[in-house]
Structure 1
Amino acid sequence: MNKNTLIKKYFQKSHLLKIENPQYQKTVETLFNWLLTSDHAENDITAKFLDNKTIKATIKTKQDIIAAGIEEIEYLLKKYPEISFQKKVTDGEKIKKGDEIAIISGDNRTILSLERTILNILQRMSGIATQTQKLTKLLYPVHIAPTRKTPWMLLDKKAVAAGGGLTHRLNLSDGILIKDNHLQILKNENNLKNEEQTVTHALKMILPQITNTSIEIEVTTKEGANSAIKTFFHSHCHSREGGNPLNSNNTSLTIMLDNWTAKDVRNFIKEVNTNPYASSIIFEASGNINESNLKHWAQTGVDIISSGALTHSAKAADLSLSIL
Structure 2
Amino acid sequence: MDKRIVDFIIKRALEEDKVDKDITSHFLFPKNKIVEAEIVAKDEGIIAGLDIAKRVFYLLDRKIRFKKLTSDGEKVKRGEQVALIRGDLKKILAGERTALNFLMRLSGIATLTRRFVERVYPYKVKIMDTRKTTPGLRILEKYAIKVGGGFNHRMDLSELVLIKDNHLKEIDFLDLQKRLEKIKRKKIEIEIEVKNIENFKKILSLKPDIVMLDNMKPEEVRRAVEIRNSLSKTKNPQLEVSGEINLKNVRTYASTGIERISIGLLTHSYKSLDFSLEIL
Q: Report the TM-score when normalising by structure 1.
A: 0.79
Question: More deviation in 165-174 or 287-296?
Answer: 287-296
In the alignment, which residue of structure 1 is the partner of 2:76? 95
In the alignment, which residue of structure 2 is the partner of 1:59? 39
Aligned mate of 2:52, from 67, 72, 77: 72
1:321 aligns with 2:269: no
Whole-Å separation in 1 of the counterparts to 2:88 and 2:130? 40
Q: What residue identity is the alignment partner of 2:180? A: I
**Where do 1:1-324 residues align within 5 Å?**
17=1, 24-49=2-27, 50-52=29-31, 53-79=33-59, 80-140=61-121, 141-151=124-134, 152-186=137-171, 192=172, 197=173, 201-210=175-184, 211-232=186-207, 253-276=209-232, 279-324=235-280
Contact kept in structure 2, 1:204 and 1:231, CA below 8 Å: no
Whole-Å separation in 2 of the counterparts to 1:73 and 1:310? 21
Q: Which has the higher helix share?
A: 1
Whole-Å separation in 1 of the counterparts to 2:38 and 2:4? 27
Q: What residue identity is the alignment partner of 2:3? A: Q
Contact kept in structure 1, 2:130 and 2:264, CA below 8 Å: yes
In the alignment, which residue of structure 2 is the partner of 1:239? none
Whole-Å separation in 1 of the counterparts to 2:238 and 2:91? 49
**SS of 1:274's equivalent?**
helix
Shift of 1:301: 1.6
**SS of 1:292's equivalent?**
coil
**SS of 1:321's equivalent?**
strand
Q: What residue identity is the alignment partner of 2:168? A: L
In the alignment, which residue of structure 2 is the partner of 1:11? none
Contact kept in structure 2, 1:56 and 1:105, CA below 8 Å: yes
Contact kept in structure 1, 2:200 and 2:224, CA below 8 Å: no
Q: What residue identity is the alignment partner of 1:94? A: K
Q: What residue identity is the alignment partner of 1:205? A: R
Whole-Å separation in 2 of the counterparts to 1:201 and 1:97? 57
Query: Cα 1:209–1:267, aligned 2, differ >3 Å: closer, same or farther?
Result: closer
Whole-Å separation in 2 of the counterparts to 1:62 and 1:114? 19
Q: What residue identity is the alignment partner of 1:99? A: E
RMSD (CA atoms): 1.8
Q: Report the TM-score when normalising by structure 2.
A: 0.91
Query: Cα 1:209–1:142, aligned 2, differ >3 Å: closer, same or farther?
Result: closer
Shift of 1:74: 2.7
Identity %: 38
- Stretches of structure 1 that go unaligned for 5 or more consecutive residues are 1-16, 18-23, 187-191, 233-251
- Stretches of structure 2 that go unaligned for 5 or more consecutive residues are none
Shift of 1:203: 4.2
Query: Cα 1:318–1:230, aligned 2, differ >3 Å: closer, same or farther?
Result: same
Question: More deviation in 44-53 or 309-318?
Answer: 44-53
Question: More deviation in 144-153 or 275-284?
Answer: 275-284
Question: More deviation in 155-164 or 210-219?
Answer: 210-219
Shift of 1:285: 0.5
Q: What residue identity is the alignment partner of 1:280? A: N
Whole-Å separation in 2 of the counterparts to 1:54 and 1:172? 47
In the comparison of the two structures, how many residue pairs are matched? 272
Contact kept in structure 2, 1:126 and 1:159, CA below 8 Å: yes
**SS of 2:84's equivalent?**
strand
Contact kept in structure 2, 1:55 and 1:107, CA below 8 Å: yes
